[in-house]
Amino acid sequence: MPTAVLSSRPSSPPAAAMAPKTGAVPCADTLSRLINLAGRQRMLSQRLTLFVVLAGGGRADALSTAEEVLGQFSTSHRLLAQGGDGLPGLFSQSLRQAFDGVSQARARIEAFIDLLGRTIKSLRRGEPLTDATQSAVVDASSSLLTVLTQITQAYEQEAHQLSRAQQAQRARLNEEIQSVAREARVVAFNAQVSAHRAGPGGREFAVVAARMATITEEVEQLVKASMSSA
């Protein structure tokens, strides 16, 4: 069997894949799913390599497992890079940089998929796994770990940025509520003064003003509890 090697010049991704994708940052649950999917790629790449080597060594059930794992790895890569199944694809510039920037992660991942796919097909045809091909598979798998780790970290950074943005938004909202509560407290105080000056005719209004002051105090306490919890 001809020696399978990774090209030193990764093929360029399709123009459609390189096209920037715009849209809102996904919710925390979606980001968590993306992080898990990206992290799982590291495990799948190593598992794939292991079963290809085992299949080359003659283990009967390893080849079918390798084919299954290759399918899982390829599907996960497509979902991360292109989106689908509720996932947004590369929704930010930092993710596009992680996949298609200096590291050429997308091209390297797809070269790995191609190499492992060709190797599995050769084994399925009954051809032996040569030492050179095995070395190429193992080397590709080892070098890919760094790339897959960087991609996972890029998704984790997106999650951190979302968390910071949500905290800032909560802080702004709490400040606005506190501002409204302060104004309401002033209004309630002035209303109580006016009711007192009105004498007996202002008693009912005084009750409403007192209740308004109580509600304002409750709102401020809720805001403080919210800020402490955050």
Q: What is the pLDDT of residues 41-69, one digit of tens each?
A: 999 999 999 999 999 999 989 999 999 99
Residue 169's pLDDT band, with cuts at 50, 70 and 90, is confident
**CATH class label, 20-164:** mainly alpha
Phi, psi of 200 (to 5 degrees): -55, -35
The residue with tokens 């509520």 is: 177
| Residues 165 and 173: beta-carbon distance below 8 Å | no
Residue 11's pLDDT band, with cuts at 50, 70 and 90, is very low
42 Cβ contact partners less than 8 Å away, ≥ 6 residues apart: 145, 148, 149, 152
Burial of 29 (0-12, 13-18, 19+ CB in 10 A): exposed
Neighbours of 224 (CB within 10 A): 12
| Residues 181 and 221: beta-carbon distance below 8 Å | no
Choose the weakest-confidence range: 3-17, 59-73, 206-220. 3-17
pLDDT of residue 42: 96
Query: Does residue 227 carry a pLDDT above 70?
Result: no
Tokens describing residue 80: 């991360």
pLDDT of residue 10: 42
The length of the chain, given as a count of residues: 230
